[in-house]
Chains A and B, each alone.
Chain A
Amino acid sequence: MLAHLPILQVIVPLMAAPLCLFLTRSRLVWLFALIVSGLAFLISSLLLQQVMASGTIIYELGGWDAPWGIEYRIDQLNAFLLLIISAVSTVVLLAAHTSIKQEIPADRHTLFYILYLLSLAGMLGIVATGDAFNVFVFLEITSLSAYALIALGKDRRALWASYQYLIMGTIGATFILIGIGLMYQMTGTLNMYDLSQRLPEVAHTRTVFTAFAFVIVGVCLKLALFPLHLWLPNAYAYAPSIVTAFFAATATKVAVYLLIRFTFSVFGLSFSFTALPLQMLFMVLGLLGIFAASFAAIYQKNVKHLFAYSSIAQIGYMIVGFSVSTTAGLMATLLHMFNHALMKGALFLALAAVVYRIGSAQLSQFNGLGRQMPYTMAAIVIGGLSLIGVPLTVGFVSKWYLVLATIENGWWPVAVLILLGSLLAIVYVWRIVEAAYFKPPLAGRESIKEAPLSLLIPTWTLVIANIYFGIDTRLSVQVAQSAAQSLFGVSP
């Protein structure tokens, strides 16, 4: 059983998804999906434990040897990501039942859970697999279910947002597919490890450069790197709140994972960072993303939009860490992936609670909520402080490592810019705080009550995680460090 964990990680939610069809009652399906996601979480914890104890796990699908058959390859990096995804997914699902009651028509609840599990399976698959083509397959599973999930949003603009995402996402996926195809043409293999062995021989060819360019651009579309981020704000804003919470915390992380995997493991560090001016390019785009998106966030009227832009800015931080291309920089990126999942998970769940009560996420509707929904707003404040990077929250941990990594590399101005960027976070977070705490409730809103426990508990689970992992960083720092080190160790 334990030996089959890598495949179980993916297959359990994948198989469970269609089974939902047999359970027609909303509450039953919810419980079932919750259990499945919980199982996935359990499996990923076990996997992480195994990997940390005894190194990379290689699992051959159907017993076929690697270059011919598909292999799942779990190292510290994958295991870390699997844990983040399955953990957030479980906590978010906890809140799903209450939240979707208001936001999704009852006859579509089963569909919602099916799509949710499918996209979960897809993300876990992308991360777990060691096969480049398999990545594409799972990417499509995730994306297709994501399009449908976003389209479930109550607002009619959700359809348009979903359509935008569909177009951009498909272009991204196609680019990745073209890249993989070109690589296959040059090396005759789809196995990532095998690719990394064979690519250096043909590294000087134009085809490999082209393949690299296609893959990178495709992945960057998926991770909403500035200026390829245009699909994200609307998709996040108009999707059902639960979907936003799930995707904001996980989907972009998966794309960042792909970026790291392709540049560090498949193409190799020397090819990725010396053959092309990638380092410079990513640094500049990352910083531009931080500032452009943070400024955009300041001017948003819808809080979901606001945090969506903030997500783009946070991706900027991850990309800057990545562009440093040292162990410290990569470690900062990995830490921020973990930490950002916690922050945005908490924030969007709290927003789900707000939407549950007042049916809107417009900032102008937040007036007076500080008194009416004290726990929900406190969650937003703490999540916001974490975004700003105040000590004792996870945001501080990421910032510390990111600044340290840039300084170690001699990039003093970048370090300053990173810190300046976090000031913008103060501005947009404080707009919410001032609306909620300093303005009287709107007319006719005096009777708004605190959100139900079924929403508060998951929200506060993540809020407490924000503080806990800001104080006790052993798990996140250790895993991120060993993952970063192993990536530098294996790269040629």
Chain B
Amino acid sequence: MSISLETMLQLSIIMPVLAVVGIVATGRKPDLREGVTISTSLVLLYFVIQLYQGLKQGESISVHWWEILPGLQVSFNIEPLGMIFALIASFLWLITTIYAIGYMRSHEEKNQTRFYACFAIAIGCVMGIAFAANLFTLFIFYEVLTLSTYPLVTHAGTKEAKRGGRIYLGILLSTSIVFFLFAIVSTWFVAGTLDFTPGGVFDSSVNLTVAGAILVLFIFGIGKAAIMPFHRWLPAAMVAPTPVSALLHAVAVVKAGVFTVLKVCVLIFGVDLLAVLPTTQFLLYLAGASVLLASLVAMRQDNLKARLAYSTVSQLGYVTIGALLATSSGVIGSSMHIGMHAFGKITLFFCAGAILVAAHKSKISEMRGIGLQMPITMAAFFIASLSIIGVPPTGGTWSKWFLLMGSMETEQWTIMIILMLSSLLNIAYLLPIPLRAFFSGKETAFAGAGIKEAPLPSLIALCITTVGCVILFVYPQPLYELATAIAATPGLAHGE
């Protein structure tokens, strides 16, 4: 292939945005329009895999665009953590597009062209976030991602959608402007650079109180990581069509949040500094509380998507905890959890959408016995639930394992107990759904109705991600290698 890796890096950001032109131009012919999206996502996946190969061979790939403000460049590079995120997002974009074709058409959604166009822009932003070489570049794409997903959240155009959109935009923009931007300017002022640097940008003479305060600003400011009390936007975003909830609000947007948290912890502060900051412990407990409380709230939700959303809030807390533990096991666990949770949660959302399309049910209490009508979907739901809970034979096992290791190494017993308790809660709010679907115990409306699954594209998509959950258990090596590389590059951080 004659395209250089640098070009591929740039194309992976630009191409999805350019695809918008094609999507809009072919708006009147749905088949062609989806063709554009799918071929773009295929090419994107190809590029990202090429970049991954390049990274594995130890090539350093970086691109500088231009200087927006003196000293503040828009530039990109490839490092393992970004690679994980990019691989997952680009692969799942392809799958989600396949799913969306089935879902959007049989659900007869309006404005599908706008939907696919905004989706493509959002993916471009996600690539920008994944490959950003400094905090400034990341922030730009972070904000554009918020704005480009707003039309997706409010897609239905109803009163409810408007209210959801308000909360969505209100919380995400407010936290990012007041806390995140403030933290970035402060970092720039204190450290004089915003480049992601192994071992962190602050030198040893930094005032611990100031750095601690900046850390709090970061954790609060990265609203996409949905740490309580800034999590309300995520349940609010559930008014969006299911593919949006699946890819953006289980994978792309929320993972952009925790990804940023992880990057800030490891590459702006550096684990050594993180471990001695006075506020780290407080934030750990905050994240712990977020994990536990969100799980408890999830139990009380009867709307399936809302329950999944709170479950996401809880699972995102795991990643933040792992980052804040400031040990190599914690960082490895966090980075792997980004991937593991992505596959598990997207499957669950796919299932929720499939149920909505095929059986027109959105409430859990109405899904008793639905396994008779949708056996494949509910089997997939079962496996994905196992992955979220973190039991074999699913990928979630590994990330939870490392997170527990991390909490033990640092003797954070409270955190360890929280993690285990939360796993129990996961069982309590996820497993009853598929179990009751199959073993309802009494006659339900679904008995004898025959098998009626979601449209084929949707079914294929959810099977692929379910298989992904299992494969990640059997063969987690690529993810693990990348995760250890993250933990190793900052030298954790004695080496440098």
Contacts and interface: CB of A to CB of B under 8 A. Distances in A.
Interface residues of A, number: 30
A420 interface: yes
Nearest to A415: B182
Interface stretch (A184-192, A302-310, A339-347, A384-392): A384-392
B182 A419 contact: yes
B123 to A, nearest CB: 18
A62 B487 CA distance: 74
Contacts of B166: 430, 434
B295 interface: no
Contacts of A473: 68-69
A17 interface: no
Contacts of A389: 177
Nearest to B175: A423
A137 interface: no
Interface string B38-75: 00000000000000000000000000001011100000
A328 to B, nearest CB: 11
A158 B345 CA distance: 59
Contact of B189 (A385, A407, A470, A472): A407
A485 to B, nearest CB: 13
Contact of A438 (B139, B162, B182): B162
B178 A416 contact: yes
B157 interface: yes
Nearest to B217: A416
A427 to B, nearest CB: 8
Nearest to B178: A419
B147 interface: yes
Interface in A159-182: none
A343 to B, nearest CB: 16
Given A391-B143, A392-B144, A416-B182, A426 B170 contact: yes
Nearest to A390: B143
Contacts of A471: 66, 68
Contacts, number: 66
A400 B147 CA distance: 19
B173 to A, nearest CB: 6
Interface in B181-198: 181-182, 185-186, 188-189
A400 B69 CA distance: 9
A355 interface: no
B174 interface: yes
Residue in B66, B170, B178 with the greatest tally of chain A CB atoms within 10 Å = B178
**Max count, chain B CB within 10 A of own CB: residue among A391, A407, A422:** A391
A422 B179 CA distance: 12
Given A434-B162, A477-B70, A403 B169 contact: no
Contact of B69 (A385, A388, A397, A415): A397
Contacts of B181: 399, 403, 419
The 5 closest A-B pairs by CB, nearest first: A391-B140, A419-B178, A438-B162, A403-B185, A391-B143
28 contacts: A385-B147, A388-B173, A391-B140, A392-B144, A397-B68, A397-B69, A404-B185, A404-B189, A407-B185, A407-B186, A415-B182, A422-B177, A423-B174, A426-B170, A426-B173, A426-B174, A430-B166, A430-B169, A437-B154, A437-B157, A438-B157, A438-B161, A438-B162, A470-B68, A471-B68, A472-B66, A477-B69, A477-B70
